[in-house]
Structure 1
Amino acid sequence: MIPVQGMQGLRVAVLGLGRSGLSAARALAAGGAEPICWDDNPLAREAAQAEGFACVELTRDGAFEGVARLVVSPGIPHLYPTPNRVVAAALDAGVPVDNDIGLFFQSFATSEWDEFDVAPRIIAVTGSNGKSTTSALIHHILEHAGRNSQLAGNIGRGVLDIEPAPSGGVVVLELSSYQTDLARSLTPDVAVFTNLSPDHLDRHAGKGGYFAAKRRLFAEGGPDRAVIGVDEAEGAFLAGQLSEGAVDDRVIRVSVDRKLTGPGWQVFARKGFLSEYRNGKQAASIDLRAVAGLPGAHNHQNACCAYAACRALGLAPKVIEAAFHSFGGLPHRSQTIGEKNGVRFVNDSKATNVDSAAKALQAFKNIRWICGGLEKEGGLDGLTDASSSVRKAYVIGREAAGFAMQLKVEAEVCTTMADAVARAIADAESGDVVLLAPAAASFDQYDSFEKRGDDFSQLVQAHIAKG
C-alpha cells in the first residue's frame, strides 16, 4: 500500500466505494487522515463499514464542513454531461476535488529515497487505443530485463494498492481520460500517448475536451521524456508543443503510417519492421512479423511505444527484442483462442469502438467477423476501408438488425453470441479467421467487454474440444 502523504489529521471525503474508492480510503487512513465515505449503493456502504470506515451522506447540508478534499472514483462525472450532485456540493463549498491517481503522485516519493542508489521511476501510458497492451508490454520488458516493475492504474492493481518502490524500481501506469482529467498531481518520469480516436465524448463534451483530458498528463506533469504517437493531428500537435526544436530528444515521436525523419528521436514501424532513428541515423531495427503476441499494425504501434519508453530508461534494443518474443498478449485483445480444421479463432472483445475494430480487421485475412453491441456515437463509416478482408459479418446485440444495415459487407443478424459463433463455424473454411471485434460497447448484453470475450472464448473452446 502507498499511504497518502500530506493529509495527516485531515478529514477527507471519498465518493464511490468500488476498487479505487475503497483503496483510497485505506491509503488515506494509513497516512493518518480521517476518511468519510459515501456510495449510493447500500451494499458498497456496508462493505466500507465492515472495514471500519464511517459512511456519511455527502448530499446533506453541511456535509463538507471541515472536509479538506473530496476523492472521486473515475466512473463518477465531475463536469460533463452534468456534475454529480456530491461533486457539485463540494465545489460549492470550496472543497478541492481529486482522485486516487492524484493521491498516488502526491504520495509515491518518500524520505527513504534519500538512501536509494537509483530513484524509482514512473511510466504513465494514455491514449484511446492500445493503452493496456502498451502498459503490459512495458511491464513485461522490464521484468524480462530483471528490473523491479509493478503494473497498476486502469490495468492490474489500483495505484494505491501497490508496494512502495525499491531502489531502481519502476511503476507502469495505464491511465484513462477519466483519471487524467481530474488528478490534481500528475508527475510521471516518462509519459506515453499512443493515439487518439473519438471515445467517451459525452463525458468530455466532445473530442476537444477528450484530447484536453489526455494532454494534462504532459502539460501538467512535465515528464522527462514524452513518447508521442504522431499519426493523428492531435499527437503531432502535442509533440510540437512539448518540443523545443527539431533536435530536442526529450520527445520521442512514434508512427506506423510513415518513416519519420529528422535530427530528433523517432521510432516507427513500416512493413512489419520497427526502426529507431536518432540524430538522423538508424540505431536499431526489429522484425515484428514473427512476434506472435503482437499481430497487426495496431500492435506494431503498441510495440513502438513500449520500445521507446524502455529505451528512454536505457534498456538495450536486443533486450527489448527478446522480450517481445516472449510476450503472450492480453486477454480480449487480438487473443488467439485456438485453431481447428485450419480455422483460427481470435478474441478482440476490447475493440469497443470503430477505430480499434478497424485495426483488428486490418491485422487478419479471410475474416468471419462477429460484431455488434451498444453502438457508440459517430456511426460505422470508419469500418468501410478496413472491411476488405471480411468474408461475412455475424451481428450480435439487441439492435443487431440496425447495426447490420450500416455494414458494407455481407451480414447475418444473429443477435446472440452463441448463434453468431455457430453460424461462423458452419461457414468457415480452412484459412479463415473467426474474429470477435465488436466495434461497440457490451452493455446491452454483458456487464463488461471481458464477460463478452469470455462468452466467445468458452463457445470456441467447446467447439475445439469436440471430436
Structure 2
Amino acid sequence: MIPVQGLERQKVAVLGLGRSGLSAARALRAGDVQVLCWDDNPKARAVAEKEGFTVRSLKGAEDFEGIARLIVSPGIPHLYPAPNPVVAAALAASVPVDNDIGLFFQSFATLAWDKFDVAPRVIAVTGSNGKSTTSALIHHILEHVGRSAQLAGNIGRGVLDLDPAVDGDVVVLELSSYQTELARSLTPDIAVFTNLSPDHLDRHNGMGGYFAAKRRLFAEGGPDRAIIGVDEREGLFLAGQLAEAASDDRVIRISVTRKLTGPGWDVFARKGFLSEYRRGAQVASIDLRQVAGLPGDHNHQNACAAYAACRSLGLAPKVIEAAFHSFAGLPHRSQTIAQANGVRFVNDSKATNVDSAAKALAAFRNIRWICGGLEKDGGLDGLADASGGVRKAYVIGREAAAFAMQLTVDTEVCGTMETAVTRAVAEAEPGDVVLLAPAAASFDQYDSFERRGEDFTNQVKKAIGQG
C-alpha cells in the first residue's frame, strides 16, 4: 500500500466504494487521514462499514464543512453529461475534487528514496486503444530483464495498492481519460500516448473534451520523455506542442502508417518490421511478423510504444526483441483461444469501439466475424473500409437487427453468442478465422467485456468438442 502523504489529520471524503474507492480510503487511513465514505449502493456501504470506515451521506454543501478534499472514483461523472450530486455539492462548497491517481502521484515519492542508487520511475500510458497491451508489454519486458516493476491503474492493481518503491523500481500505469482528466497531480517520468479515436464522448462532451482529458497527462504532467503516436492529427499536434525543436529527442514519435526519419527520435513499424531512427539514421530493426503475441498493425503500434518506453530506460534493442517473443498477449485482446480443423478462433472482446474493431479486422483474413452489442455514438461507418477480409458477420446483441443493417458485408442476425458461434463454426472452412470483435459495448447482454469474452471462449470450446 502507498500511504497518502500531505493530508495528515485532515478530513477527506471518498465517493464510490468500488476497487479504486476502497483502495483510496485505506491508503488515506494509512496516512493518518480521517475518512468519510459514500456510495449509492447499500452493499458497497456495508463493505466499507465492515472495514471500520465512517459512512455518511454527502448530498449538500453543508455536508462538506471541514472536508479538505473529495476523492471520486473513475466511473462517476464530475462535469459531463452532468455532475454527480455529491460532486456538485463539493464544488459548491469550494472543496477540491481529486481521484486516486492524484493521490498516488502526491504520495509515491518518500524520503527513503534519498538512499536509493537508482530513483524509481513512473511510466504512464494513455490513449483510446492499446493502453492495456502496451502497459502489460512494458511490464513484461522489464520483468524479462530482471528489473523490479509493478503494473497498476486501469489494469492490474489499484495505484494505491502498489508496494512502496524499492531501489530502481519502475511503476507502469495504464490511465484512462476518466483518470487523467481529474487527477490534481500528474507527474510521470515517461508518458505514452498511443492513439485517439471517438470514445466516451458523452462523458467528455465531444472529441475536444476527450482529447483534452488525455492531453493533461503531458501538458500538466511535464514528463521527462513523451512517446506520442502521430497517426492521428491530435497526436501529431500534441508532439508538436511538446517538442522545442524538430530535433528534440525528449519527444519520441511513433507510427504504423508511414516511415518517420526526421532529425529527432522516431520508432515506426511498416510491413511487419519495427525500426528505430535517431537523427535520420536507423539504429535498430525488429521483425515483428514472427511475434505470436502481437498480431496486426494495432499490436505493432503497441510494440513501437513499449519499445520506445524501454529504450528511454536504457534497454538494448536485442533485449527488447527477445522479450517480445515471450509475450503471450492479454486475455480478450486478439487472443487465440483455440484452433480446430484448420480454423483459428480469436477473442478480441476488448474491441468495444469501431476503431479497435477495425484494427482487429485488419489483422486477419477470411474472417467469420462475431460482432454487435450496445452501439456507441458515431455509428459504424468506420468499419466499411476494414471489412474487406470478412466472409460473413454473425451479429449478437439486443439490437442485432439494427446493427446488422449498418454493415456492408453478408450478415446473419444471431442475437446470442451461442447462436453466433454455432453458426460460424458450422460454416467455417480451413483457413478461416472466427473473430469476436464486437465494435460495441457489452452492457446490453453482459456486465463487462471480460464476461463477453469468456462466454465466447466457452461457446467455442463447446462447439468444437473441447468444452
- Interval containing the TM-score (normalised by the shorter chain): over 0.9
Shift of 1:69: 0.2
Q: Distance in 1 between matches of 2:181 and 2:219?
A: 12
Shift of 1:129: 0.2
Matched, 1:124 2:124: yes
> Which secondary structure does the structure 1 equivalent of 2:450 belong to?
helix
Question: Any unmatched runs of 5+ in structure 2?
Answer: none
Q: Deviations over 1:419-455 (max 9, x none)?
A: 0000000000000000000000000000000000000
Question: Any unmatched runs of 5+ in structure 1?
Answer: none
User: 2:392 — aligned with what?
Assistant: 392
Q: Is the 8 A contact 1:338 1:464 kept in 2?
A: no
User: 1:314 — aligned with what?
Assistant: 314
Q: Which amino acid in structure 1 is aligned with residue 118 of structure 2?
A: V
- Compared with structure 1, are the counterparts of its residues 389 and 4 closer, same or farther at alpha carbon in structure 2 (3 Å cutoff)? same
User: 2:247 — aligned with what?
Assistant: 247
Shift of 1:462: 2.1
Q: Deviations over 1:255-314 (max 9, x none)?
A: 000000111000000000000000111010000000000000000000000000000010
Matched, 1:176 2:176: yes
Q: Deviations over 1:365-409 (max 9, x none)?
A: 000000000000111110001000000000000000000010000
Q: Deviations over 1:213-256 (max 9, x none)?
A: 00000000000000000000000000000000011000000000
Q: Is the 8 A contact 1:339 1:464 kept in 2?
A: no
User: 1:339 — aligned with what?
Assistant: 339
Q: How does 1:60-75 map to 2 (within 5 A)?
A: 60=60, 62-75=62-75
Shift of 1:464: 3.3
Q: Distance in 2 between matches of 1:210 and 1:93?
A: 27
Matched, 1:204 2:204: yes
Q: Distance in 2 between matches of 1:331 and 1:114?
A: 39
Q: Which amino acid in structure 1 is aligned with residue 29 of structure 2?
A: A
User: 1:435 — aligned with what?
Assistant: 435
Shift of 1:463: 2.8
C-alpha RMSD of matched pairs (Å): 0.8
Q: Deviations over 1:113-158 (max 9, x none)?
A: 0000000000000000000000000000000011000000000000
Q: Is the 8 A contact 1:15 1:38 kept in 2?
A: yes
Q: Distance in 2 between matches of 1:150 and 1:466?
A: 35
Q: Distance in 2 between matches of 1:43 and 1:405?
A: 41
Q: Distance in 2 between matches of 1:148 and 1:226?
A: 22
Q: Is the 8 A contact 1:368 1:393 kept in 2?
A: yes
After the TM superposition, list the runs of 4 or more consecutive aligned residues in structure 1 that deviate by more than 6 angstroms: none
Shift of 1:60: 4.3
User: 1:378 — aligned with what?
Assistant: 378
Q: Distance in 2 between matches of 1:63 and 1:306?
A: 45
> Which secondary structure does the structure 2 equivalent of 1:32 belong to?
coil
Q: Deviations over 1:329-359 (max 9, x none)?
A: 0000000001000000000000000000000
Q: Distance in 2 between matches of 1:305 and 1:277?
A: 14
> Which secondary structure does the structure 2 equivalent of 1:123 belong to?
strand
User: 1:107 — aligned with what?
Assistant: 107
Q: TM-score, normalised by structure 2?
A: 0.99
Q: Deviations over 1:62-111 (max 9, x none)?
A: 21000000000000000000011100100010100000000000000000
Q: How does 1:358-369 map to 2 (within 5 A)?
A: 358-369=358-369
Q: How does 1:155-174 map to 2 (within 5 A)?
A: 155-174=155-174
User: 2:88 — aligned with what?
Assistant: 88
Q: Distance in 2 between matches of 1:460 and 1:209?
A: 40
Matched, 1:135 2:130: no
> Which secondary structure does the structure 1 equivalent of 2:181 belong to?
helix
Q: TM-score, normalised by structure 1?
A: 0.99
Matched, 1:444 2:440: no
> Which secondary structure does the structure 2 equivalent of 1:63 belong to?
helix
User: 2:187 — aligned with what?
Assistant: 187
Q: Which amino acid in structure 2 is aligned with residue 292 of structure 1?
A: A
Using the TM superposition, name which of 275-284 and 456-465 deviates more: 456-465
